[in-house]
Structure 1
């Protein structure tokens, strides 16, 4: 089975389609490096409706607290409960074990039109 295609936002979040119309979301390695060591993560409630661009999670680190924004509109259908006891997963494995939440999209997502692929995202970091 091949690795799913990830899409990136200007707010340093990633997402990929984990199931039909369900998108798994987290923060990038760049974002976790900027934040520093995560000490607490506040995740959105399951069954919460979120709007695209809405702050729906908070990562508190030794340096600061930072909002995480929903890249798409929809219903939160899952959260990574492992982060409650082990927020450091966001630092150790930000684009895998440290995922944050999943959203069932309200409408079809057009990733190529609305988000960056990895190459474009990395180029934006270098700009």
Structure 2
């Protein structure tokens, strides 16, 4: 009985778009996706300003949603990466800047994935 209640609760959480859309895991997954998109846009010489704004907005939401020290440290690191990325994106593309944007977007991608996994584990533990 207890296991079926847990399964039902988990199904409800997954089925609820509003709950899942605001979960730290979902926010971090969106940030990871946007970091890949930003790099692709940069390589294709498409505008990156809107994508960067969306990443920064998600980052702010993650700061609000995450409460443990380890996540806070990762968020601070991602803040630094995003600030550096913004600085590089303002400059004319060169091979070294393209490499730097690739490195920074990869770091944001990996950091966001880490936060998503951490959040999903925390949610699983909370359901148990």
TM-score (structure 2 length as normaliser): 0.29
TM-score (structure 1 length as normaliser): 0.29
- Hey, which of these two has a bigger chunk of strand by percent? 1
- Hey, which of these two has a bigger chunk of helix by percent? 2
Higher relative contact order (CA 8 A, sep 6+): 2
Structure with bigger gyration radius:
2
